[in-house]
Amino acid sequence: MSARFLLPLLCAFSLPVLAAPGHFSFGEPGKAAEADRTVTITLGDMYYEPGSVQVKAGETVRFVLKNDGALLHEFSLGDAVMHAEHQKHMLMMQQMGMLTPTGMSSDMGKMDHSQHDMSGMQHGKMTHDDPNTVMLEPGQSAELTWTFSRSGGLEFACNIPGHYQAGMVGNVEVQP
């Protein structure tokens, strides 16, 4: 693989809304042991249950996530602009063969990246490990703990191609 494609691959697939590496305008990763409360969210095929959550600015919430669906799903905290940008990267991941309907491929070495324009990608890693996002295969459970820094509206969403558009998005109302 040429160096022209290697560097963008190493720097691909993160959300470009980071004010600085690891910093989000709406909060930061928290510690589960310091959570003010726990919210359990079920990921089904094209829905979340519950579909909305209210939190307070400064609150640390431990999200316990369970994929009860038959498909690969994601739980990603952000605003609509972040999700729209992330969806572009997820589509590229799907086109490259990294995403299947039920999982992620870790066999990047055998994929032909020469047919994909990587020029628009920045920040992040191929491992899809942004601190505001968890990807779950069918039957998997995971946790994400977040400290919300300011009031306003956010979303939790699945950005796998077509899932957000099919209604797999929920609201996080961050109250003062």
Position of tokens 């590496």?
21
Amino acid code (one letter) for 51: G
Identify the H or E element spanning 145. Answer: strand 141-148
Is 77 inside any structural domain? yes
Is 150 inside any structural domain? yes
Is 70 inside any structural domain? yes
What is the number of domains present in the chain? 1
**Torsion, Cα of 125, 122, 171, 132 (10° steps):** 30
Q: What are residue 156's DSSP bridge partners? A: 77, 170
Is 132 inside any structural domain? yes
Is 23 inside any structural domain? no
Q: Which token pair is 161?
A: 């191609």
- pLDDT by 10s per residue, the chain, length 176: 433 333 333 333 333 333 344 569 999 999 999 999 999 999 999 999 999 999 999 999 999 999 999 999 999 999 999 999 999 999 999 999 999 999 988 654 444 434 444 433 433 334 467 999 999 999 999 999 999 999 999 999 999 999 999 999 999 999 99
**pLDDT, tens digit, 9 for 90 and up, residues 58-107:** 999 999 999 999 999 999 999 999 999 999 999 999 999 999 999 988 65
CATH of the domain at 102: 2.60.40.420
Say if residues 148 and 57 touch (Cβ distance below 8 Å).
Answer: yes
Domain containing residue 114? 3-15+28-175
Is 47 inside any structural domain? yes
